[in-house]
Chain A
Amino acid sequence: MTGTFWMQVAQLARRSIVRTIRQPAHVFPPLIFPLGLLAVNAGGLAPATKLPGFPTDSFLAFALAVPFIQGALFATMNAGTDLARDIQTGFLNRLALTPLRGGALVAGLLSGVVVMGVVQAGVYLTVGLLAGSGLASGAGGALVLLGLSALVALGFGAVGALLALRTGSGESVQGLFPLLFVFLFVSSMNLPRNLIEIDWFRFAATANPVSYLIEGIRSLVITGWDGQALALAFGVGTALAAVALAGSAVALRGRMTRT
């Protein structure tokens, strides 16, 4: 990787962040909706903590992991629609006429998504702590949590980029977005997997990679340092990012047909 490559990444990351900041619809919903859902769940599902074997007596602490994933899903849609818009308006062609490397385009876009994902994670964590949740892993855990959030944002952002590059349409990206939310809802977001009594749901939650991302974050909040949960979360995050990035690279080659 040369200095030129990283300069290109930095320029495009800057553009990605500036674009996000200048679109209130890209800033506030990823903050407000996940925190709103957290408030509703923490209030309405608190009796679940009375279930035998429930890992904490604070549903707020239990559910605090969910906004991190939900926020990353918003970032996915925003990254995807931004890239799709660039394709539709011809801005991608403008970029293609410069010495920009394809890898720098995706990396720049995703760097912006990752920065926004970390900022969002900082807000969720701060709000959670102010609302009374503890952080069992302490200050070091907060850093790991932010790192995991960055990885999740990278992975989901790459999924957004892949969808945009494949379809070239912002509407298509937005249309596929609810499907991604299905993964969130069919996970261990509201109950530990071992307490889900419906067999098919427990099986689906176990097969669902999003469950492991949530459980990794959750372990830092309510357990402390759980090596297995963290390894699974980082492993799933890395695999998601690797697969989506590889898919994006292939899709980008098809989209940027310059000689």
Chain B
Amino acid sequence: MMTAREQGIVAEALVREYRGGIRAVDGIDLRVAEGEIYGFLGPNGAGKSTTVHMLTTLLPPSSGTAWVGGFDIVREGPRVRAAIGAALQEAALDPLLTGREHLRLQAALHGLSRADRRSRGEALLERVGLTLAADRKVRTYSGGMKRRLDLALALVHAPRLLFLDEPTTGLDPQSRSALWQEVGRLAKEEGVTVFLTTQYLEEADVLADRVGIIDHGRIVAEGTPSGLKAEIGRPSVEAVPANPDERHRLTQLLERFGEPAQGSPNGDAVRLETGTESLVEIVRALDAEGLDVSHLQLHAPSLDDVFLAKTGRSLEGAAEAPSAEPARA
């Protein structure tokens, strides 16, 4: 078993309290193994960014502690910063500098030699597809280009751990997909540990090896996406009869395969007693009974179902928590 200091990220009872006693982060424990992509999923105001700010040493915790890359975030801030790269919420770029100038500045501040600054900068520009735009001022960049430059800046000193705070918020699907590919490649090919916050279910599902779901500053569920989904339940099937008069017959038929579940107003749904293989049997039964349906759909559990099961609310409609303004403590 790995010890805390050998692991990528370890947090123990991490708390951040703001003025007025508001706990933006309320006792978080987590472990992220080296080379793992950890998705930190939650609605706006849940405490994701505050957690990232503490783990990246930008904000001291009110209590508890954490080790990042084997270093204590409170006592060994400079060593933590040397080990990590971070792209925080809202790509923090200077609109008046070019992409290349950003990389040179960042590389210089990280202490790279002049020659390394140049070669590393060129390599990163190429990797994120910004070579042609490298000498344009950032204010002319699209949102996706800014995010890619942000990622390149986070990687300039070849960090072992990468923190990405909602990296794809506001991006178009194409830019989002490109960023996912690059993050996945970093973890798989270079062994970079990635701590990724997101409010997008799909992002966590596609990218993360494990997911922590945070709500009101607490982790309410943690595990692999498939494990979490399996944990909260079975798939459901929903059917809408082609002839509304046959609704009752359809209900009786479906109830042979599971208990009733929430469906659309025109149809019926059941949570399947067995797995998705029941769908075939349902189709056969419908055929045998001569029941025509206009709509038949299998619903696999989603991470939103996990969030719903754990918090009683849907993540996609979750309201922001009461103001957790990052006032200076």
Write the B67-95 contact mask toward A (1 if CB under 8 angstroms, else 0): 00000011101101110101011101110
Q: Is A196 an interface residue (CB 8 A)?
A: no
Give the contacts of A143-189 with B (CB-CB under 8 A).
none
Contact assessment for A89 and B81 in the assembled complex, using a CB-CB cutoff below 8 Å: no
Contacts known (A94-B153, A96-B58, A97-B86); A259 close to B77, Cβ less than 8 A? yes
Is the Cβ of A257 less than 8 Å from the Cβ of B328?
yes
Select from chain B the residue with minimum beta-carbon distance to A89.
B92
Residues of A187-224 whose CB lies within 8 A of B: none
Mark the stretch among B104-112, B267-275, B283-291, B293-301 that contacts chain A: B104-112
Among A7, A22, A93, A97, residue most surrounded by chain B Cβ atoms (within 10 Å): A97
Report the separation of the CA atoms of residues A257 and B53 in the bound assembly, to the nearest whole angstrom: 10
Q: How many A-B residue pairs have CB under 8 A?
A: 74
Determine if A28 is an interface residue (Cβ-Cβ < 8 Å): no
Q: Are A254 and B109 in contact (CB under 8 A)?
A: no
A8 in contact (CB, < 8 A):
yes
**A98 at interface by CB-CB < 8 Å:** yes
A11 close to B90 (CB less than 8 A): no
Neighbouring A residues of B73 by C-beta, 8 Å? 259
**Residues on A with beta carbons closer than 8 Å to the beta carbon of B90:** 89-90
Pairwise interchain contact B58-A257, C-beta atoms closer than 8 A: yes
Residues in chain A near residue B75, CB distance under 8 A:
259
**B192 → chain A closest CB, angstroms:** 16
Could you tell me the dominant secondary structure of chain B's interface residues? Answer: loop
The A-contacting residues of B in range 224-279, CB under 8 angstroms, are none
Counting chain A residues whose Cβ lies within 8 A of the other chain, the interface size class is 20 to 34
Tell me whether A97 and B328 are in contact (CB under 8 A).
Answer: no
Q: Which residues of B sit under 8 angstroms from A98, Cβ to Cβ?
A: 81, 106, 109-110
**List of B residues within 8 angstroms of A90 by Cβ:** 88-90, 92
Interface presence of B27 (CB below 8 A):
no
Q: Is the CB of A93 within 8 A of B94?
A: no
List the B residue with the shortest CB-CB distance to A95. Answer: B109
Q: How far is the CB of B135 from chain A (nearest CB, A)?
A: 13
Cβ-defined contact, B86 with A99, below 8 A: no
Contact call A100/B109, Cβ cutoff below 8 A: yes
Mask, A1-37, CB within 8 Å of B = 1, is 0001001100110010011001100000000000000
Q: Which B residues are in CB contact (< 8 Å) with A8?
A: 108-109
* CB neighbors of A among B127-183 (8 A): 137, 153
The CA-CA distance from A91 to B95 in the complex, in Å, is 11
Q: Cβ of B109 and Cβ of A259 under 8 Å apart?
A: no
Interchain residue pairs with CB less than 8 A apart (20): A4-B111, A7-B108, A11-B108, A11-B109, A15-B94, A15-B101, A18-B96, A18-B97, A86-B94, A90-B88, A90-B89, A91-B94, A94-B88, A96-B58, A97-B56, A97-B84, A99-B82, A99-B110, A257-B60, A259-B80
Q: Tell me the A residues contacting B by CB distance below 8 Å.
A: 4, 7-8, 11-12, 15, 18-19, 22-23, 86, 89-91, 93-100, 254, 257-259
By a beta-carbon cutoff of 8 Å, the part of chain B in contact with chain A is 56-60, 73-75, 77-78, 80-82, 84, 86, 88-90, 92-94, 96-97, 101, 105-106, 108-111, 137, 153, 328
Other than A91-B92, A98-B81, give 12 A-B pairs with Cβ distance below 8 A. A11-B109, A15-B94, A19-B97, A86-B94, A89-B92, A90-B90, A90-B92, A94-B92, A94-B153, A97-B86, A98-B106, A100-B109
